[in-house]
């Protein structure tokens, strides 16, 4: 073979070797990237270090937070479930066997009142200040007759320390309780919920199912959620909630949701559970920014006064937006005659699109924008009427207590006890009734009237203190028409007549109570021992 042949042969060998190297590199790269293939030692080491670092962060946060998380034990008095007359027929005979339903029915068909019974519950909370102020949910301590707290700042201390409910705010479902101990307590700091990002790591701490000092970890799965915790009370909605997949269950309520800095970014309040099966990976927390506004006011015993327009509103569908010529906003359904907006140029069927220049997308936006302002403040509403935009100024009033989830207009820190009502019977004017309030009270109502009762005088019973001598004879939803034979035309009239009866020489007071039974208004005269 000549030199030219040898050169050609060597050249062919070089090409084969180069191709083999390239194919080997490609196969090796492909093997490293295919699913199911093991990573390189360097990559595995990096992943291990990353997981170890995250684990270290979780344990550090848990060690920092756990001593400041408490268990809250509550004893309360609650009414038995609904009366027989409200139950389906197939269930009535079964429930008649129980003591609280025993006794003959009256000729008017009324059933005996459910008797009070004790209720026990467990929730969570976290220490807000070193001197013993603790934040929890309002629903945890609702109707509480006794509250105790188990602290975790000392090992093996299972003492149940007596606690006092300092204040509650049902509208945000926040409450503050206080324990007095002879030491400074570890506390947690509030962080910023506004700066919290979706997919950020968070940790929920509390006592789910009474398993104290339980830590669950997850991420923020969404923000700005809206819930109506009690469907019978549409006035109370929890908004701007943080959604998380950190497991939250019964008993977690009131406990903190913290970030990786150990700051409280939310207060655990609810979880999604079809058919009450338990947590399914969707929990909710009140944002820390809400707590930073409300908690100091509760501690100081200040009145949580909120702005109020006095209007009924509804959301717009896409078709209605097109019909009214707007891109967003809420429709004014009605205006209260005695509400703040009645003195303004606002009209029914107006579309409110902004408050002080801030866009209003839905009813929650408007409610929040107004409620977060002070009474007597004048606000400018951007309104579209007949497809023409205009500016309307309204001087805000103060939100009535019923819209804040309270029984009366005393919204200062410590909740006003029902003993301040004569014989523990709390009432409201018939003129303020709405279908929603009627549903909550167990009666059929329309705007300003009880369906089936022609007389417009009297007051409606909204609650009865369970330990009151009236508890067995007066029922929520009853209309008090007379006190000792005197017509009742207002709440003040009721208070005056009741007080005179209490201070009188008789040892009892007679109330004429009207109730609708089978579509017919029936009035009973009941005597109550003083």
- How many angstroms separate the CA atoms of 264 and 201, rounded? 13
Give the bridge partners for 479, in sequence order. Answer: 460, 514
Q: Which two tokens stand for residue 480?
A: 């008090």
Q: What is the DSSP letter of 153?
A: S
Closest CA to 256 of 299, 297, 296, 216: 216
Q: What is the largest CA-CA distance in the chain?
A: 141
- How many angstroms separate the CA atoms of 382 and 359, rounded? 9
Helices assigned H by DSSP within 372-443 = 435-441
Please, are residues 305 and 411 in contact by the beta-carbon 8 Å criterion?
Answer: yes
Main-chain dihedrals φ then ψ at residue 60, nearest 5 degrees: -65, -45
Taking phi first (over 0 means left), then psi (-120 to 50 degrees means alpha), and beta for anything else, what does residue 529 get? beta
Q: Active-site residue among 124, 152, 169, 173?
A: 173
Give, for 269, the enclosing helix (H) or strand (E). strand 264-271
Please, are residues 126 and 258 in contact by the beta-carbon 8 Å criterion?
Answer: no
Q: Active-site residue among 124, 139, 408, 478?
A: 139
Main-chain dihedrals φ then ψ at residue 81, nearest 5 degrees: -60, 175
Q: Active-site residue among 193, 247, 253, 463?
A: 253
Q: Which two tokens stand for residue 6?
A: 């040898």
- How many angstroms separate the CA atoms of 328 and 397, rounded? 25
Active site residue 344: no
Give the bridge partners for 168, in sequence order. Answer: 175
Number of other residues whose CB lies within 10 A of the CB of residue 245? 19
- How many angstroms separate the CA atoms of 466 and 103, rounded? 19
Active site residue 512: no
Active site residue 139: yes
Give, for 238, the enclosing helix (H) or strand (E). strand 238-244
Please, are residues 462 and 480 in contact by the beta-carbon 8 Å criterion?
Answer: no
Taking phi first (over 0 means left), then psi (-120 to 50 degrees means alpha), and beta for anything else, what does residue 301 get? left
For 171, residues 6+ apart whose C-beta sits below 8 A from its C-beta are 236, 306, 371, 403, 404, 405
Q: Among all residues, which ones are annotated catalytic? A: 139, 173, 253
């Amino acid at each position: 073979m000549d030199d030219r042949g040898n050169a050609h042969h060597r050249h062919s060998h070089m090409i084969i070797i180069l191709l083999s190297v390239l194919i080997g590199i490609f196969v090796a790269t492909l093997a490293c990237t295919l699913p199911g293939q093991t990573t390189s030692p360097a990559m595995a080491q990096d992943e291990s270090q990353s997981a170890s670092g995250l684990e270290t962060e979780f344990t550090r946060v848990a060690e920092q937070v756990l001593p400041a998380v408490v268990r809250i034990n509550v004893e309360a008095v609650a009414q038995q479930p609904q009366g027989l007359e409200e139950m389906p027929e197939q269930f009535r005979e079964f429930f008649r066997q129980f003591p609280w339903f025993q006794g003959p029915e009256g000729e008017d068909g009324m059933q005996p009142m459910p008797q009070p019974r004790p209720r026990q519950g467990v929730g969570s909370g976290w220490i807000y200040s070193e001197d013993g102020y603790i934040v929890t949910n309002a629903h945890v301590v609702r109707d509480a007759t006794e509250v105790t707290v188990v602290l975790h700042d000392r090992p093996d201390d299972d003492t149940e320390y007596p606690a006092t409910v300092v204040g509650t705010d049902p509208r945000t479902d926040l409450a503050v309780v206080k324990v007095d101990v002879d030491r400074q307590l570890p506390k947690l700091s509030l962080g910023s919920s506004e700066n919290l990002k979706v997919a950020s790591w968070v940790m929920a701490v509390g006592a789910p199912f009474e398993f104290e000092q339980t830590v669950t970890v997850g991420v923020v799965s969404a923000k700005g959620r809206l819930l109506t915790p009690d469907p019978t009370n549409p006035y109370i909605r929890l908004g701007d909630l943080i959604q998380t997949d950190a497991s939250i269950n019964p008993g977690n309520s009131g406990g903190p949701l913290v970030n990786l800095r150990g700051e409280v970014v939310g207060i655990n309040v609810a979880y999604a559970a079809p058919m009450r099966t338990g947590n399914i990976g969707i929990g909710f927390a009140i944002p820390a920014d809400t707590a930073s506004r409300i908690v100091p006011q509760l501690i100081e015993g200040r009145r949580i006064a909120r702005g109020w327009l006095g209007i009924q509103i509804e959301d717009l569908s896409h078709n209605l937006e097109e019909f009214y010529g707007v891109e967003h906003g809420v429709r004014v359904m009605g205006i209260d005659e005695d509400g703040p907006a009645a003195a303004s140029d606002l009209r029914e069927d107006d579309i409110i699109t902004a408050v002080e220049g801030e866009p209003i997308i839905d009813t929650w936006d408007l409610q929040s924008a107004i409620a977060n302002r002070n009474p007597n403040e004048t606000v400018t509403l951007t309104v579209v009427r007949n497809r023409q935009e205009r500016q309307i100024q309204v001087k805000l009033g103060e939100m009535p207590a019923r819209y804040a989830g309270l029984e009366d207009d005393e919204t200062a820190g410590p909740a006003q006890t029902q003993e301040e009502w004569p014989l523990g019977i709390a009432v409201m004017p018939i003129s303020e009734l709405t279908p929603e309030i009627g549903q909550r009270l167990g009666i059929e109502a329309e705007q300003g009237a009880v369906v089936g009762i022609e007389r417009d005088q009297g007051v409606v019973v909204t609650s009865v203190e369970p330990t009151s001598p009236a508890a067995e004879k007066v029922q929520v939803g009853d209309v008090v028409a007379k006190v000792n034979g005197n017509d009742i035309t207002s709440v003040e009239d009721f208070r005056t007549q009741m007080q005179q009866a209490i201070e009188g020489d008789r040892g009892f007071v007679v109330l004429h109570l009207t109730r609708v039974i089978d579509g017919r208004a029936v009035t009973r005269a009941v005597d109550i021992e003083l």
